[in-house]
Each structure stands twice: as structure tokens, then as C-alpha cells.
């Protein structure tokens, strides 16, 4: 659900619901068999770093800890950071389409449902809330639009994780990077190289996990890479709203 909330100087609040139209879309469902080699490698590496009782876990417990317990904790951090609207007023909002990795090939899509099994039995599941891009190892990651770095640190399965705030509740997320060129609180400009791709966190191959969030909600990044969609779904609506507020002027 969504609503427009207005509060006047006296503290009176008015709330009006927004009609939503649900778009039917099918997402990929993948069944992935987990091997002992995978658990003994990347999974055990992360368990040793983040679990307090790592030496007491068997293979199944290790994987479930990483894919469920640690994942949920990491996503809670992201949601807490990206749920904030950081300005009181905004006179203008305009973004160019996001293209974070030059010549990057899509290797995993938004909404992919992954069902993991071990020794033939279903073990755990996850949803992929971003797009994975890959090109060359340690490729430059670009900020297509300027903003404030609101997070730049290790974040469990996301590895080296950077989040940039662009205004109006819009955030972009970049993870698994080898290096990060900016720290929390710094301002990045449009076109700046902000990090390099890598394999930190729960990543087997060198790539960028790119996410877009609006007020704490993951949305489809490909929409924010589409100039036509951005115009029709965001900017035209904002302009029409301004005209209504201004009495049709």
C-alpha cells in the first residue's frame, strides 16, 4: 500500500491513499544443489568470520546460518539505512539512467528465486533483490548520478558494500567490491569511479551486485536504467502533481 501524507505547520496531518496497479511478472526460479566443496570454502570462510559458535556447526547449519541468519541481519542494516528520507524539502528531482558497470553483462536478475538443496533435500531459499553485472576483474564501478555515501563498510554476504543517497528517498547499492574509493559521509559526483568489482561476501566470481531501493523497498533496477520508464513513471507524474498543487498553472 502507499499513501500521500501532508502535515501543516500546526501539526495537522492528512493521509490519502494512492491507487496501485499490480503488474504481473514472472521471475526465474532456480534449484541449486550445494556441494561440500562450496560449504568448506566460501560458506565456512564467512561462518568463521561472523558466527560465534562456528566450530559447533555442521555443513547444514553453516549454510543456513549464512543464507538465513546472516542474510537477514545484513538486509536489516540496508533497510534501516535506506528507509530514511534525508531532506525536509525538495524543489527538483531528476536522475539520468543508471549504468554502474561499463560493458557489464547481466549474470543474475532481480527477483530470482533460488531454492538450495543438499544431499537431495531442500535446505533453504533466497530471493535476489538486485542485478548482478560482470565484465573484467576489478572493473571500475561508476556512480551515474551524484549523491551522499551513507554506508561504506563490510556487510556480511554483501561483502564490501556501498550505499548512495540520491534524494527523494532513492538509494543505490553496490556490493562485493574489492575496493571502495569513498567513505561514509562523502559526496560523490556524477560519473565518479566509486569502487571496483570483486568477490567479497557471498560471491564466487568477480561481479557487481547493483540494487535500487526507495524508502527501504527494493525495486527493479532495470526500471531506473530505462530513460522512457523514468520519464513516464516518475518525472511526468511529478510535473503533473506540481500543476495540480499550483492550481493548474
Query: In this predicted model, what pLDDT tens digit does every residue of 116-142 receive, in sequence order?
Result: 999 999 999 999 999 999 999 999 999
The pair phi, psi for residue 26, each rounded to 5°, is -95, 135
Cell of 22: 499490480
Please, what is the average pLDDT of the chain? 94
Q: Which three cell numbers stand for residue 50?
A: 561472523
Domain range holding 209? 3-245
End-to-end CA gap in the chain: 30
Residue 9 burial (C-beta neighbours within 10 Å; 0-12, 13-18, 19+)? exposed
The model's confidence at residue 249, banded by pLDDT at 50, 70 and 90, is: low
Condensed to tens digits (0 to 9), the pLDDT of residues 47-85 reads: 999 999 999 999 999 999 999 999 999 999 999 999 999
Residue 212: is its pLDDT beyond 90? Answer: yes
Tell me the CA distances in angstroms from 59 to 50, 89, 123, 142, 207, one per residue in order.
Answer: 15, 51, 11, 38, 26
Q: Is the dihedral of CA 154, 157, 162, 165 positive or negative?
A: negative
CATH number at residue 134: 2.70.70.10
Whole-number pLDDT of residue 201: 97
Residue with cell 549454510: 63
Look up the pTM and report it.
0.91
pLDDT tens figures, 151-193: 999 999 999 999 999 999 999 999 999 999 999 999 999 999 9
**Residue range 19-53, pLDDT digits in tens:** 888 878 889 999 999 999 999 999 999 999 999 99
Q: How many CB atoms lie within 10 A of CB 24?
A: 4
Distance CA 152, CA 82 (A): 13
Residues 6+ apart with CB under 8 A from 40: none
How many domains are contained in the chain? 1
Amino acid at each position: 500500500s502507499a499513501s500521500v501524507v501532508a502535515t501543516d505547520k500546526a501539526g495537522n496531518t492528512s493521509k490519502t491513499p494512492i491507487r496501485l496497479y499490480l503488474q504481473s511478472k514472472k521471475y526465474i526460479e532456480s534449484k541449486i544443489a550445494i556441494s561440500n566443496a562450496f560449504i568448506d570454502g566460501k560458506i565456512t570462510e564467512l561462518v568463521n568470520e561472523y558466527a560465534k559458535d562456528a566450530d559447533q556447526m555442521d555443513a547444514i547449519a553453516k549454510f543456513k546460518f549464512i543464507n538465513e541468519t546472516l542474510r537477514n541481519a545484513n538486509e536489516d542494516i540496508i533497510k534501516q539505512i535506506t528507509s530514511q528520507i534525508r531532506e525536509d524539502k525538495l524543489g527538483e528531482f531528476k536522475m539520468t539512467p543508471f549504468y554502474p558497470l561499463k560493458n557489464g553483462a547481466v549474470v543474475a536478475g532481480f527477483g530470482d528465486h533460488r531454492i538450495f538443496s543438499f544431499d537431495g533435500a531442500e535446505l533453504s531459499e533466497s530471493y535476489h533483490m538486485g542485478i548482478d553485472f560482470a565484465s573484467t576483474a576489478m572493473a571500475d564501478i561508476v556512480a551515474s548520478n551524484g549523491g551522499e555515501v551513507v554506508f561504506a563498510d563490510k556487510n556480511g554476504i554483501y561483502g564490501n558494500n556501498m550505499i548512495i543517497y540520491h534524494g527523494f528517498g532513492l538509494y543505490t547499492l553496490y556490493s562485493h567490491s574489492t575496493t571502495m574509493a569513498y567513505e561514509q559521509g562523502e559526496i560523490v559526483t556524477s560519473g565518479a569511479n566509486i569502487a571496483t568489482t570483486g568477490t567479497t561476501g557471498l560471491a564466487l566470481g568477480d561481479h557487481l551486485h547493483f540494487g535500487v531501493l526507495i524508502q527501504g523497498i527494493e525495486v527493479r533496477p532495470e526500471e531506473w536504467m530505462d530513460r522512457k520508464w523514468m520519464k513516464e513513471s516518475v518525472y511526468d507524474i511529478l510535473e503533473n502533481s506540481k500543476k495540480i498543487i499550483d492550481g493548474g498553472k
